[in-house]
Amino acid sequence: MFVRLLTLIFLCWCFVSSESEVITCSKIVAFPNRADNISITDFGAVGDGVTLNTKAFTEAIYNIQHLPREGGTLLYVPPGVYLTQPFNLTSHLTLYLAAGAVIKATQDSSNWPLIAPLPSYGRGRELPGGRYMSFIHGDGLHDVVITGENGTIDGHGDVWWKMWRQRTLQFTRPNLVEFVNSSDIIISNVIFKNSPFWNIHPVYCSNVVVRFVSILAPRDSPNTDGIDPDSSSNVCIEDSYISTGDDLVAVKSGWDEYGIAYGRPSSDITVRRVSGSSPFAGIAIGSETSGGVENVVAEHINLYNMGIGLHIKTNSGRGGYIRNVTMSHVYIEEARRGIKISGDVGDHPDDRFDPNALPIVKGVTIKNVWGVKVLQAGLIQGVKNSPFTEVCLYDINLHDGVTGPRTPPWKCSDVFGFANLVNPSPCSELITHQPGSCAA
Ligand SMILES: *[C@@H]1O[C@H](CO)[C@@H](O)[C@H](O)[C@H]1NC(C)=O
Ligand SMILES: *[C@@H]1O[C@H](CO)[C@@H](O)[C@H](O)[C@H]1NC(C)=O
Ligand SMILES: *[C@@H]1O[C@H](CO)[C@@H](O)[C@H](O)[C@H]1NC(C)=O
Ligand SMILES: *[C@@H]1O[C@H](CO)[C@@H](O)[C@H](O)[C@H]1NC(C)=O
Ligand SMILES: *[C@@H]1O[C@H](CO)[C@@H](O)[C@H](O)[C@H]1NC(C)=O
């Protein structure tokens, strides 16, 4: 009863504080109004769920690329189910899905095109060698919008999950949507469904906005991360619902020796008003952070039925850094663990990684977290010769809902920082140290 009352007060307070000043991503990229509007049906597309429309999409994009109109072009997808193989986007394009429009990946994965591995990963994330191109792919683009009236992009993922389970995959599975080396990207008012692998993957990008999206995949679908900003800057994610089989949002920046050599960080990443559910983490950083991750803000996050609420993860061999991260106003209902910051998570691309490439984790503030039915409060496990520093916890209440406000205590090692108003009380490493650079 007491917990319920406090939850109610907390929710009301969230509501009021977000009502008073609604901050949005809209300043990052201006929404372009296109001068020209062409329909995918002009290129012979048939939305009957049977006809293969690859030629229509490829020709429409070719047309837009080679007959550029002042102010760019809107490619309209009317209601219907448009089956297609993967295709590339082009610059100055708005891909517009009407209400009831579905762009659906073909079930035939046998002639899915392969592309080169990302240089910051050195190989495919799952398997050595190249990787299957994403269903909707953009490389070296500028000024692209994917939007509409909440139409659906459906990755037909079951075909790929089955190959993963049967261990018959030859290369790394495709993402649903990927932008590589692109800028000024907006993804809004679209439903993403059944991605073969990660859902939305901006890599080596800047100025990316994702808002008003729903991302849905079964809880047991393998590696279906929601949104993974990767070696990208100025990424803003807001007002979205994500329920998948892996981390809802995971900020990354390359893998071990390849990521260190490529040296491209993720910076200035904002995540706000995102809710959802997953057997893994709600807001994650890592574990691939070899190019560095800095200036991350995640706020007003509501998580239900989770593996871990907030998870910052790296490993020896990763190198890189994670610094200046603030996560606040987080509500967690049902989770195995509330908060985890760990230095021993994730595998290596090959045995050429340098075990002495130790990551630096410095300046992580987590505050205003309310959790109910959280089985274990927190685990902070630094790297032995590279302890985590300036880890600051304020105003965190995690309840197990069984014995009242008394979940098992925090566990910590190799960490320095400060904690105030944290319940259950955190480990002595955080209590006995002075605030230092943790602002009180
Ligand atoms: C684009 O044209 C289609 C007809 O082909 C029309 O139904 C639609 O409303 C137009 N969309 C916009 C955003 O102008
Ligand atoms: C799409 O673009 C990629 C990268 O720019 C290129 O390698 C590939 O050939 C293109 N694929 C198709 C199907 O157009
Ligand atoms: C990135 O894209 C730009 C075009 O926008 C191109 O000039 C540049 O070569 C690309 N860089 C890489 C590394 O592919
Ligand atoms: C689309 O979904 C968003 C929530 O993601 C909602 O706010 C918006 O009103 C919907 N738009 C339409 C046109 O249905
Ligand atoms: C930390 O990150 C915040 C939010 O991105 C930014 O406003 C601030 O300037 C950063 N601080 C430093 C010291 O870089």
> Is-catalytic flag, 154?
no
C-beta separation of 208 from 234 below 8 A: yes
Q: Does the beta carbon of 194 lie inside 6 Å of ligand 4?
A: no
d(CA 251, CA 230): 6
| Element spanning 199, H or E | none
C-beta separation of 258 from 284 below 8 A: no
C-beta separation of 331 from 300 below 8 A: no
Distances (CA, A) of 204 to 97, 147, 207, 208, 252: 26, 22, 11, 11, 11
In the reported structure, the alpha carbon of residue 267 is separated from the centroid of ligand 5 by a whole-number distance in angstroms of 10
* Shortest-distance ligand to the CA of residue 182: 3
Q: Which residue has the tokens 């994917």?
A: 146
Q: What pLDDT, on a 0 to 100 scale, did the predictor assign at position 418?
A: 94
Q: Does the beta carbon of 149 lie inside 6 Å of ligand 4?
A: yes
Q: Does pTM surpass 0.85?
A: yes
Q: Which atom of ligand 4 is nearest to the CA of 212?
A: 5
Q: Which residue has the tokens 């274990």?
A: 376
Query: Atom 4, ligand 3: which residue's CA is nearest?
Result: 140
List the domain boundaries for the chain. 1-237, 247-346+354-440
In the reported structure, the alpha carbon of residue 76 is separated from the centroid of ligand 1 by a whole-number distance in angstroms of 6
Q: Which atom of ligand 2 is nearest to the CA of 58?
A: 14
End-to-end CA distance of the chain: 31
Q: Is the previous residue joined to 287 through a cis bond, with omega within 30 degrees of 0?
A: yes
Distances (CA, A) of 396 to 50, 100, 156, 271, 328: 52, 43, 40, 19, 10
Q: Which atom of ligand 5 is nearest to the CA of 268?
A: 5
Q: Which residues, in sequence order, are bridge partners of residue 388?
A: 415
Q: In a structure prediction context, what are the per-residue pLDDT tens digits for the chain, which is 440 residues long? A: 444 544 444 444 444 454 556 889 989 999 999 999 999 999 999 999 999 999 999 999 999 999 878 999 999 999 999 999 999 999 999 999 999 999 999 999 899 999 999 999 999 999 999 999 999 999 999 999 999 999 999 999 999 999 999 999 999 999 999 999 999 999 999 999 999 999 999 999 999 999 999 999 999 999 999 999 999 999 999 999 999 999 999 999 999 999 999 999 999 999 999 999 999 999 999 999 999 999 999 999 999 999 999 999 999 999 999 999 999 999 999 999 999 999 999 999 999 999 999 999 999 999 999 999 999 999 999 999 999 999 999 999 998 876 554 556 799 999 999 999 999 988 888 877 766 677 65
Q: Does the beta carbon of 39 lie inside 6 Å of ligand 1?
A: yes
**How many other C-beta atoms can be found within 10 angstroms of the C-beta atom of residue 271?**
25
Q: What pLDDT, on a 0 to 100 scale, did the predictor assign at position 440?
A: 53
The CATH code for residues 1-237 is: 2.160.20.10
Distances (CA, A) of 291 to 208, 252, 253, 258, 341: 19, 8, 5, 9, 18
Burial class (CB in 10 A: 0-12, 13-18, 19+), 212: middle
Q: Which atom of ligand 2 is nearest to the CA of 113?
A: 13
**Ligand 2, CB cutoff 6 Å, lining residues:** 88, 113, 115, 137, 139
Q: Which residue has the tokens 């050195």?
A: 122
> Pairing state of beta strands 114-115 and 131-132?
antiparallel
d(CA 339, CA 312): 8
In the reported structure, the alpha carbon of residue 72 is separated from the centroid of ligand 1 by a whole-number distance in angstroms of 15
Q: Thinking of the domain 247-346+354-440, which architecture would CATH place it in?
A: 3 Solenoid (2.160)
Q: What pLDDT, on a 0 to 100 scale, did the predictor assign at position 406?
A: 56
C-beta separation of 69 from 39 below 8 A: no
Q: What pLDDT, on a 0 to 100 scale, did the predictor assign at position 68?
A: 79
d(CA 399, CA 374): 6
C-beta separation of 79 from 46 below 8 A: no
Q: What pLDDT, on a 0 to 100 scale, did the predictor assign at position 432?
A: 74
